[in-house]
Chain A
């Protein structure tokens, strides 16, 4: 097969336009906000929560939590908040009287998640969180139950 410069020159503008389009899309994405859903979840072996305001977590979250090495079978949503973070911005959501979670955009791909309890930092983690992936922070609670903070990227 012989290299045909004239044929290549026909496709060169198309490739250039495609690259410009890709760069524009990347730039638009970089400028966009990032939306996260944060849920405070109570994990238990009991089928029902004593608090009638608690509702079982949605099916997708339940499925993902079931895949984790956790002994609990039932998960109830205590509180849910949405956090919208702009580029290089930090936003916070209050999950209980003394528990807060903050999300900071670092570079459009990496985010810093900080769990604050009693006005003191408990945990600070930096990682990517693409859409569809989930970060779960958890710990033991009384009566062989557990608390979980579930972070999901929505946008």
Chain B
């Protein structure tokens, strides 16, 4: 007897089979000694379990007993985060934090750029010269912030 047949017998015993199938099982049991033996054993087991279970009575009423269980479940479950009302000031502050951070970084950048970038480097980097006189030359006195451009322009002016 395979597992499927055993399950069929269990279902038959529990009255879960349709009528036609139950009739087939009955016919099978009349012919098969092994199947008949299993059904008897299952029936005895069920009867034994039924007899050994004594009803349990609780001192409280049914509603009160279940309400205690419900309260215990509620206690063990994590409390849901209460919905907090945020004021406009809190919202404004939430915006101000990142905005303030950006502002602070920008201020530091501006100050650092002005303080640490050499003025002569900044001025020299962006200067250009167009001279009609090819013999002209330029001299930078970075220490005193002076630029000299010498040209061979006639001085009869």
The chain A residues found within 8 Å of chain B, CB to CB, are 5, 8-9, 11-16, 18-19, 22, 63-64, 67-70, 96-99, 109-110, 115, 117-118, 120-130, 132-142, 145-147
Interface residue SS majority, chain B: mixed
Q: Is the CB of A9 within 8 A of B96?
A: yes
Q: Is the CB of B155 within 8 A of A141?
A: yes
Which residues does chain B contribute within 8 Å of A146, judged by CB atoms?
155
CA distance A118 to B131 in the complex (A): 16
B100 contacts A by Cβ under 8 Å: yes
Q: Is the CB of B126 within 8 A of A130?
A: no
Q: Is the CB of B157 within 8 A of A19?
A: no
Q: By CB atoms of chain A within 10 A, which of B126, B148, B152 has the most?
A: B148
Q: Is the CB of A139 within 8 A of B153?
A: yes
Interface size class of B (residues with CB under 8 A): 35 or more
Q: Is the CB of A123 within 8 A of B133?
A: yes
Q: Is the CB of A16 within 8 A of B155?
A: no
Q: Is the CB of A128 within 8 A of B126?
A: yes
Q: Is the CB of B153 within 8 A of A130?
A: no
Q: Is the CB of A135 within 8 A of B100?
A: no
Question: Are A136 and B157 CB-contacts (below 8 A) given A16-B103, A128-B122?
Answer: no
Q: Is the CB of A22 within 8 A of B153?
A: no
Question: Are A130 and B123 CB-contacts (below 8 A) given A137-B151, A142-B155?
Answer: yes
**Contacts A11-B104, A16-B96 known; 9 new A-B pairs at CB < 8 A:** A8-B97, A12-B97, A15-B101, A64-B144, A122-B153, A123-B151, A128-B126, A139-B152, A141-B155
CA distance A68 to B139 in the complex (A): 8
Q: Select one of A8, A63, A64 contacting B100, CB under 8 A.
A: A8
B53 contacts A by Cβ under 8 Å: no
Which residues does chain A contribute within 8 Å of B133, judged by CB atoms?
122-123
Q: By CB atoms of chain B within 10 A, which of A15, A126, A128, A145 has the most?
A: A15
Which residues does chain B contribute within 8 Å of A138, judged by CB atoms?
148-151
Which residues does chain B contribute within 8 Å of A126, judged by CB atoms?
126-130
Q: Is the CB of B100 within 8 A of A13?
A: yes
Question: Are A22 and B110 CB-contacts (below 8 A) given A16-B100, A134-B146?
Answer: yes
Which residues does chain B contribute within 8 Å of A140, judged by CB atoms?
152, 155
Question: Are A123 and B107 CB-contacts (below 8 A) given A8-B100, A99-B157, A128-B126?
Answer: no
In whole Å, how far is B61's beta carbon from the nearest beta carbon of chain A? 52
Q: Select one of A96, A121, A124 contacting B157, CB under 8 A.
A: A96
Q: Mark B106-147, 1 if CB is under 8 A from A, else 0.
A: 110010000000010011001111111100100101011111
B23 contacts A by Cβ under 8 Å: no
Q: Is the CB of A139 within 8 A of B97?
A: no
Which residues does chain A contribute within 8 Å of B147, judged by CB atoms?
127, 133-136
Q: Select one of A13, A67, A147 contacting B146, CB under 8 A.
A: A67
CA distance A44 to B132 in the complex (A): 26
Q: Select one of B96, B136, B149 contacting A13, CB under 8 A.
A: B96
